[in-house]
Amino acid sequence: GAVVSQHPSWVICKSGTSVKIECRSLDFQATTMFWYRQFPKQSLMLMATSNEGSKATYEQGVEKDKFLINHASLTLSTLTVTSAHPEDSSFYICSARDLLYGQSYEQYFGPGTRLTVT
């Protein structure tokens, strides 16, 4: 159980275009999902906390208008990188917590999406 999927697993787009990344909890409900960004050989940098039915909470330095997050249901959160630039190229990973297990702090990570902007 506790599987999180991401789609697409990799994407190449041209500078100036927008890209949408989906994060789904396959066998559990997640009121909270997290979006991370990871540069090669670097740590995970939390970008935002996605809350079902409400606005996302962005970390300091992360542009809300550039990284649009929508958490429309208990099993789906989306991250849209708008007007992508080459410096947005990175590995984007989402994670989710299991709603049913309130005492469980474990975050289940998706497989990640590698974005390359040309």
Name the residue nearer to other proteins (CB basis): 14 or 53. 53
Any idea what the Cα angle at residue 2 is, between residues 88 and 40, rounded to 5°?
A: 25
Cα within 13 Å of Cα(68), Cβ side:
11
CB under 8 A: which stretch of 12-20, 22-30, 39-47, 74-82 binds other proteins?
39-47
- Residue ranges in 18-37 that form contacts with other proteins under rule CB under 8 A: 31-32, 34
Name every residue whose Cβ is closer than 8 Å to that of residue 106 and which is 6 or more positions away in sequence. 2, 97, 98
Residue 40 makes contact with other proteins by CB under 8 A: no
Q: By CB under 8 A, name the binding residues for other proteins.
A: 31-32, 34, 41-46, 49, 51, 57, 60, 93, 95, 97, 105-112
